Each structure stands twice: as structure tokens, then as C-alpha cells.
Structure 1
Amino acid sequence: MSVDNTAQQELELATKWLDITITNFIENMRKLRIEDTGTLMASFQKQVVGSAEGRLQMRLSYALYGKFVDMGVGRGMGAGVTKKDDGYDRIRMSRGRLKRYARKKRNWYATEMSYQTRRLSELMYELHGKLLLTTVNSALPSETTITF
């Protein structure tokens, strides 16, 4: 296994990992019924970049309001609406609580991301462990036997 081959395998692994992660995010959103307009699901973008230093970089982006849905926070009204406006009384009570519904967190991101990050590290350890064993094995004299 050469270094170039390993870099290619890392790139393939990262691309597949991003595909699976996005698929799992969308499944979580459907399960939790976070499909109001579909714009959050459509906002996912991924990019895998191999840097000059040999480090692999991945970028996963999505609409910012997705974090607010995950945490169960947000204003619940349009930008620019203040307490003095007519729209404020229509949406909120005098103490600031929403009239329509109470917000609750819907964990579509946090739990899945921690699991997927751990899984990516396991896959990378496995890939580089094979490279290490191959390198050690090829550097040893042929008469020597090592038992692991």
C-alpha cells in the first residue's frame, strides 16, 4: 500500500462518509417531522479537499437555522419585529412567550454528528493501521517471524 494509494482511499472514504452522514441527517429530520418547507434538507453541501500538507479536509454545511431547530431556540418571528410593532402582539403574549406553540428541541444533528465523527475516526484508524502493518512487514527481513 503506497502513500498515494492511501491518500486516494482516504478521499474515497471521506466522500462516502459525507454521503452517509447527510443521508442520516435527512432521515432524522423526516423522523422528527422537520420538513416544513424542505429548505433545510436541500441546504446540505459537502466538499472534500486534500491539502498540500497531505491532510484531508472536509466541509459539511447547511442552513444556519437548522442549529436553532436542533436546540429548540429562536425568536419565532420575522427579522425586524420588535415589541412596539403590531406583529409582536399577534405572535407573542405580553411576557414574550409564543402563542402558537412552545418550542422544543428536536435533536436531528447533535447525537448523529457525534456518532458519525466517532465512526469516521474508527475508519481512519483502520485504514492507517493497515498501512502501518504493511510498512512494518515490508521493512522486516524475510527470515524473522513476528507474532502479534
Structure 2
Amino acid sequence: MDSLSLARIQTVRDHMALECTQEWDAVIATFAHPRYEMHGGGAVFDGEQAVRGYFASSRTPFPDQANEIISIAAAGDTVLVEFWLTGTHLGPLKANGTVYPPTGRAFRVRMAASFEFAPDSDKIVCERPYFDQGAKLRSLGLAAT
């Protein structure tokens, strides 16, 4: 594997680890331009302010949200990751027009994400998580399985 692909994989590993420890300035520094495209709900968070807002809103219901990488690979200007997303429902969760009060229950859902990189760079230009929008609710026992 070439050195740029290895550097990109390391950037993604660092990015995901920093999300777990909520070191938001360092997460932002992994981007050439901060952008998340959520393939599951359709939301797009473009620019630093929008991305920081996403971080805050996603950690309100799950302040301990974390990820565990299962598999990671580089392909061209993209790094692909399969991972477990975990967390504990400790704050209000807004989903499908409903606000669910904290249950104290933990969730663990399998997800995938692609990370697009600027050409000839190890800086991310877009993260695209792919997920089943109802998976967390089902895992928490808040929706039918």
C-alpha cells in the first residue's frame, strides 16, 4: 500500500478516535473542509459551524457515543470503514417527530462510512455514514424490531 493511502487510513483512525473523546477542535483539524452527509436520514452538515452543531446534537442523547472499527480500507481518494456505533441513552432523543426521554439503555449498531479525501492529501473533505435510521431506536427498545 502506498504512503498516501496509509496516511489517509491513519487520519480516519485518528478522526474516529477523537470523536470518541470529543476532542472537537482536533476532529475539525482532520478536514480540509468539514462536511458530513448522513445517508440514512438525508441531513447534510456543511462547514465548521454546522458540523460542530451536529456534534453537540448527537451527543445530547448519547454523551458517551463511541465507535469500534471492525474493518478499514483505502480505495483511491476514499477510505471505507465498517464499525460498531455504541452509546447510552442519557439525554432526550429527537427522532421521527418524537422526543424520547432518557432510558439509561445502551445501544450497539453496525454501520459503515466512507471518507472522501482531497486529491493528493490526507485531509478529509466529506464523511458519509451509512446506517439504518431506526437501528438505534430498535436497539434501545423504542421501536419494533
Does the TM-score normalized on the shorter chain lie above 0.5?
no
Name the one with the larger strand percent.
2
Name the one with the larger helix percent.
1
Greater radius of gyration (CA): 1
Q: TM-score, normalised by structure 2?
A: 0.32
Q: TM-score, normalised by structure 1?
A: 0.31
